[in-house]
Structure formats: structure tokens, C-alpha cells
Structure 1
């Protein structure tokens, strides 16, 4: 009896292993090769698929090589550096090609007219990935810790509710009220720069500090140090995410074993959650103590009104509240910082436009501090 039972268990285990092997081969070998063959017949070529890893190893190598040396000259032709793998494959396989992120097929389209055609007919074809879908792929899991299920990732009714809150916080009148805080932050930065006269300044880092201060003060009513702590942790998550973007994750093993980067990302995400909730509790305590009669009209105040809304349909959960704060801290900071840095670079290499922009500012404001009414009359600077 025992021998029969052992034989049965051994047979069942062998059957399970065979089924698992067949499924693995179907997912990571047969299906990719079938897709690759079908696309080749349609005239779409690309680097050959490699078992499990796809083209990740080659992509990572091309990116590292491009970023290991400075650009030869300042130029708008940045594709060879920013997306070295795309640039190399366009030259090898044409403007439209097939590549592999692990076992996921990716068709790259770089012909402008074809891109327009795809986007023109794409209503609901490219939905946002849900939080659950993002977690399925290990290489995007750290990104999920950065934005959570905030405005960038959400859809449907949840997106509409979150977008409504953002619209209230950043309509024209609200932005006008933020202008003094923005001006004060810029003046502080320029005052600090005076000590660097005749020396080099790491402008992008200075702008990172500036935008973090402005966002902390105007959107969350928090101190620069509180905001800087959150920004620094979000930047750390960004570094971890970028470092793991093109690393191959092996099936089954990656679900039970986490690398040092993913363990660190978990810890950083928890710290960000706690930091955001500390800022929230300070605002709540002001209302409870009678120091303030409402949560405020900035972005954090509107989020807190929704967080405490008695109507469950309008209420934000604690995780939603944190995700929205993280989304705005990260997205607002990155877009503003990058835009300012790029603008200063363009002005530096185009002194004629720099002079035109400076002249317009003096024509509109003279020697006065900029104000919201005058900003709307800046045409060259808007461009």
C-alpha cells in the first residue's frame, strides 16, 4: 500500500513538472518564436529573441556604453545617447522594428506618419495598466512604488475624482496665490548664487532644490526639509527602478526571491508613506486644536477634505491619499526641474534668444518683482 502511494505521488509530481515545463516552454519559447516569425513575414524585423531574457542583455549593454562617455558636442540629436538601443536597431532593421523585453514583444514605430495613424485610431486601445497588472512585471514593480495608484495610473471614476481635486488646487486663481512663494524661493536661490560668482554652479541640482521647496510650500504647506526628505527618497526609488528596468527576471524564482534593490525599495516606500502621514497628521492636529478652522485650500487641504468626507463614494483611503501626494511630489518635481534645466541650457547656447527674453522681462516688469498679471504678457518667454 505504501509503495503504491509513493508511486502515485511520484507519478503526480512528475506530471506536474512536465505540465510546468510545457507551460514554461510555451510562454518563453514557442509563443515568442511564433510572434517573431509572423512579424518577419509582415516585413517587421528585429534582433532575434533569446530564451527568457529576450533582448534585455543587449539593450542594457548599448545603454551603458552610450552613457559611459560625454556627448561630443551640444546638439538636439540626442537619440544615440538617450535611447542608444533604439538608435542602433533603427540603423540595423529600419524605422519600424520588433524587439523583446524579456518575453514581451515590443513593436517600435518611428515613422511620424505611421505614429500619427496609430495614435489617431487608438481610443481605448492603450489603456493604463492597473496596479495589479503593473505588479505582474518585476521590472515595473519599483515604479509602482513611486506612483502607486494615483492620478497617473488610475482610470474611470477614480481618475475623474482625483483629476477634479487636482483641477481645484491648480486653477488660475490658486496659481496666482502661489506666485509670492515661488518668487521668494527663486530670490533665495539667486541670493545664494552670489557667493559662487566666477565659479561653476551645478545648475540642475540647484533647480532640484528650488522645485522641491516650491512644491513643498505651495502644494503641501510643509517645510523645505520635510519636502526634501520625501524628494530624496523618491529619487532613490527612481534610481532603483532605472537600474532594474532591463534586468531579466527568471520565472518562478523571482516570485520567491527578492534582490537587494527590491528589498531596499520596500523599505524606502514605507518610509515615504510614514513621512507623508506625518505631514497629514500635523495639518489635522491644527484643525483639532482650533489653530485652523479648515484643512486649507492647497492640494493637501483638498486631499484631506476628501479623506474625511462622510460620503464613502467621495472618500479617499489612506493609501489613495499617500499615492496622490507621492504622484504630485514626483511628477511635479521631475517635470518642473527638467523643463527649467532644459530652458536654461537652450538660453545658454542661444545667446540671441537669451537677450530677447531678458529684454521682454524688463519691458514688462522694469525693475519690479514679477507678478501674475505681467507673466501673462510674456510672449517670447512663453514660447
Structure 2
């Protein structure tokens, strides 16, 4: 009886491990490849996905190279110091490209007309990313980080404050 129970326990553990391994392969290999393939078919290129780290290795290297740079007092060009990867990738891949934070895909939009469309969207297609809890604690759940009905309610309260007559 004990041998059968331990065999069932081992089979259950093996099934759980196989499920975790399958999910890891899907999340870390197949999903990034599928996303990359679909976006490249639509004309959105970007740096290649690296297993588990995505584009973070290249970002870290470029930030290390830019760490010794000093910003001129009269210059407002802080991109080579803060985000040197964008400075490198925009000329290579265009104004819209895909890059990876680990296995999480991110799309960079450097085209002003597309950014305007995304920011003025009222359909709810472009949701706000609240994955970083420190970001939420820093800004609070105000107008910047809300969506949907809650955003409409906040906007309705704040809108009269920015009326042109009151601003004058």
C-alpha cells in the first residue's frame, strides 16, 4: 500500500514539474518567438530576443558605456546617458521597434503622430501598465494611472480647473 502511494506521489510531482517546464518553455521561448514573428511581419523590427534576459544585456552594456559621459551645461540632450539604447536602436530599427525586458515585450514609439493617437485613444485599447508597485506608490492612483470609468470620474472633477478662463 505504501509503495502505491509513493508511486502516485512521484507521478503527481512529475506531472507538476512537467507542467512548470512546459509553461517555462512557452513563456521564455515560444511566446517571444511568436510575438517577434508577428510584429516583424507587420514591419516592426527590433533587437533580437535573448533567452531569459531579452535585451537587458545590451541595455546594461550601453548604459555602462555611457556612464562616463558628462552632460554639457548648455545641452539638454540627456538620452546618451539615461537611455543610450534608444539612441542606438531608433536609427537601426526605425521610430517604432520591439525590445525585451526579460520575457516581457515592449514597443518603443518614437513617431509623434502614433504617440498622439495612443494618448488620445478613448476606446480603452491601450491600457496603462501598473506592473511596478513602486511606481503606483510614487504617483498614487490619480488621473495618470487610472483607466475606464474611474479615469472619466477623475477627469470630470479635474477638467474645470484647467478651463482657459480660470487659467488666465
Q: TM-score range by the shorter chain?
A: 0.7 to 0.9
For 1:114 and 1:166, the matched residues in 2 are separated by 26
Q: Which runs of 5+ in 1 are unaligned?
A: 176-374, 377-383
Gaps of 5+ in 2: none
Residues 91, 128 of structure 1: alpha-carbon distance in 2 compared, 3 angstrom cutoff: closer
Aligned length: 166
CA distance, structure 2, for counterparts of residue 128 and residue 34 of structure 1: 23
Aligned-partner SS, 2:52: coil
CA shift, 1:121, in A, is: 6.0
Corresponding residue for 2:8?
8
Greater percentage in helix: 1
Bigger drift between 8-17 and 59-68 goes to 59-68
Q: Which runs of 4 or more aligned residues in structure 1 lie more than 6 Å from their structure 2 counterparts after TM superposition? A: none
Q: Give, in angstroms, the shift of residue 13 of structure 1.
A: 0.4
> Does residue 149 of the first structure (1) align with residue 141 of the second (2)?
yes
**Residues 191-202 of structure 1: pairs in structure 2 closer than 5 A:** none
Give the conservation status (yes or no) of the 8 Å contact 2:124–2:148.
no
> Kindly tell me: are residues 122 and 150 of structure 1, through their superposed partners in 2, closer, same or farther at Cα, counting changes over 3 Å?
closer
1:18 aligns with 18
TM-score, normalised via structure 1 length: 0.38
Judged with a 3 Å threshold, the aligned counterparts in structure 2 of structure 1 residues 161 and 121 are, in CA distance, closer, same or farther, namely: closer
> How far apart are 1:145 and its partner, in Å?
2.2
TM-score computed with the length of structure 2 as normaliser = 0.77
Aligned to 2:47: 47
Match of 1:325? none
Question: Could you give the per-residue CA deviations for residues 317-357 of structure 1, whole angstroms, max 9, x where no partner exists?
Answer: xxxxxxxxxxxxxxxxxxxxxxxxxxxxxxxxxxxxxxxxx
1:115-138 Cα deviation digits (max 9, x unpaired): 455556664221334xxxx3xx4x
Q: Quick one: distance in 1 between partners of 2:144 and 2:116?
A: 23
Measure the CA separation in 2 of the matches of 1:157 and 1:99.
Answer: 31
Shift of 1:37: 2.3
| SS of structure 1 residue aligned to 2:21 | helix
Query: Which has the higher Rg, Structure 1 or Structure 2?
Result: 1
Alpha-carbon distance change, 80 to 121 in structure 1, aligned in 2, over 3 angstroms: same
Give the root-mean-square deviation of aligned CA atoms: 3.1
